[in-house]
Amino acid sequence: MCQPDRVEWANGSEAEYDRLTQLMVDTGMATKLNEKKRSHSYLFRSDPSDVARVENRTYIASTTQEQAGPTNNWIDPVELKKTMTKLYTGCMRGRTMYVIPFSMGPIGSPISKIGIEITDSPYVTANMHIMTRVGDDVLEVLGENGEFIPCLHSVGAPLAEGQQDVPWPCAPIEEKYIAHFPEENLIWSYGSGYGGNALLGKKCLALRIASNMARREGWMAEHMLILRLINPEGKRFHIAAAFPSACGKTNLAMLVPTIPGWKCECIGDDIAWMKIGADGRLYAINPEAGFFGVAPGTSMKSNPMAMRSLEKNSIFTNCALTDDQDIWWEGMDEPCDHAIDWKGHEWTAESGKAAAHPNARFTAPAAQCPVICEDWEDPAGVPIDIFVFGGRRTRTVPLVTQAFDFDHGVFMGAMAASETTAAALDVGQTLRRDPFAMLPFCGYNMADYWAHWFAMGDKLKDKAPAVFYVNWFRTSGEGRWLWPGFGENSRVLKWMCQRIEGNVGAQQTPIGNMPLEADFDLSGLDLPPEDFAELMEVDNEAFRRDVEDAEAYLAKFGDRVPPQLTTQLEALKARLG
């Protein structure tokens, strides 16, 4: 169908990676960075039309529209395949087809899954080397007739004989399709070479297809970081946390605690796959092998461990290039006066324009993170003690609340919301609901997804993780941040650990259990008592307005809303009075 000029099987070797990156330097697609500053690292600039996930061109092609639900773009699978087959026919002429066998999760883990991505992009192949486990070992585990998820990708830019290629080939926006066929565990992507549109192991497989597989097979595929927190006595706690974008997820995954004696280790920064173990507890793996993070705003202040992870063997996309052949972006620690911007144009600090694209990315091996957990590749996974949900709210929602029980925690996750910013597509709404931070990533009807969470709680019974909700972003009446955030968030995690140990009490409020000031570690923190009081304030009237918004949101899902969710909503209304 694709008619490439040649076919190469990716074996995941360093020699292969070096050959691909050199090929891209030679063709002008990549710029090699200063070896002394950032060894074995490369910068790419995408086409300005191909800079992020394209949600309006992302489809769930389930048999019926009802299965996809009101929050997904649905297309009839038969019609979509017809359209895409036409586009795919001859789409790789003049190019090499790379066949990439990859494992999501440690190779051979009972929680892992295998995919095969076919692509005509050497950039995608190099990124998959970092983001997944690629190569012959995967084929050995797969064997002659093992199960795998087929992932077909093309940049959608065939070359006629003698035609000069461009540095970043892609198709126009109206020809871009990122399609998921959940009943077949099948992914077809066409027209984009960027990020989650093209690295099909990431959101496409790890969340949209895996969420369907997880529901059918009785496990969980979640948009969650995983971290290990160790208290001064050496006791380990494992936390999985889900936040919408711009809520500091990667920063929390690589947290450096500010409280003496506490230590944090990163297991994953984005995705958690979880299965119930023989002991009845929930065990999680990070199915990825690398970090694909947003670069702007990442600094030694906001996330020193991420910065140190990027010192070598990394790929940068749509960042600025400094005069000494290193990368730069807005929010980095050192200012920059002059650079080549993400579009390849000369840039100065006085220009008033951004040098890096707001969605500029880094791809780095997780093994390079200084605080990566020694068990991050344990095939058995780690036992989850705590789930954390959150959103970005300047008012109403307190710093931390504990759910009364697991069902109440599912309700918290289902109602997760952030205030919209000017950058969001839905300006005009004050709140954007993003249940479990899965709104763009759940591969089926969100109401059925909530029902699956309740069903998992029923299976886990008293071994279910404790559930908490956080809001790092509350402000005072004058708009001043009330909580310092970053490493100080370890104080909130400490309280959670003490709660599940039974070492501290809590005060019951209509929205959940909250810290008693005497139990919350504020030592060494210059936080005025009135700020702490405001951080923990529960305004019943404000929450009643929140409930009205939640009811309007749930109405979209009709009679598919699980009864447990309605029960929780009614109970909250009764408590608020």
Any domain includes 194: yes
Can you give the CATH number for the domain in which 180 is found?
A: 3.40.449.10
> Do residues 139 and 283 both lie within one domain?
no
**DSSP class of residue 207?**
I
Does residue 247 have an active-site annotation?
A: yes
pTM equals 0.97
Please say which residue of 167, 193, 218 terminates a domain. Answer: 218
What pLDDT score does 466 carry?
98
- Residue 335 clears pLDDT 70, i.e. is over it: yes
pLDDT single digits (tens) 80-96: 999 999 999 999 999 99
Say which DSSP state 174 is in: G
- Verify that 280 and 176 share a domain, yes or no: no
Same domain, 490 and 467: yes
Per-residue pLDDT tens digits for 169-221: 999 999 999 999 999 999 999 999 999 999 999 999 999 999 999 999 999 99
pLDDT of residue 45: 98
Residue 297 lies in a domain: no
Residue 421 pLDDT: 57
Asked if residue 236 and residue 93 are part of one domain, the reply reads no
Q: Which residues pair with 242 in a beta bridge?
A: 389
- Asked which of 526, 546, 565 is the last residue of a domain, the reply is 526
Q: Which domain range does residue 185 map to? A: 6-32+57-218
In a domain, residue 543? The reply is: no
Q: Which residue has the tokens 């690589």?
A: 254
500 DSSP 8-state letter: H
Whichever domain contains 450, its CATH number is: 3.90.228.20
Do the beta carbons of residue 30 and residue 24 sit within 8 Å?
A: yes
- 521 shares a domain with 473: yes
Q: Are 151 and 205 in contact (CB under 8 A)?
A: yes
pLDDT band for position 424 (cuts 50, 70, 90) = very low
Judge if 131 and 11 occupy the same domain. Answer: yes
pLDDT tens for residues 497-523? Answer: 999 999 999 999 999 999 999 999 999
Distance CA 412, CA 415 (A): 5
Whether 152 has a pLDDT exceeding 70, the answer reads yes
190 membership: H or E segment, kind and range: strand 186-190
70 and 173 belong to one structural domain: yes
Q: What is the pLDDT at residue 422?
A: 45
Provide the pairing of β-strand 42-44 with 315-317.
Answer: parallel
Q: Could you say which of 247, 264, 442, 497 is catalytic? A: 247
- pLDDT tens digits, one per residue of 112-140: 999 999 999 999 999 999 999 999 999 99
Length of the chain: 577
Tell me, yes or no, whether 285 and 398 share the same domain. Answer: yes
Number of structural domains the chain divides into: 2
Together in a domain, 162 and 251: no
Q: What pLDDT digit, counting tens, does each position of 245-277 carry? A: 888 899 999 999 999 999 999 999 999 999 999
* 214/165 same-domain check: yes
- The answer, yes or no, to whether residue 24 has pLDDT greater than 70, is yes
Residue 148 to residue 116: CA distance in whole angstroms: 7
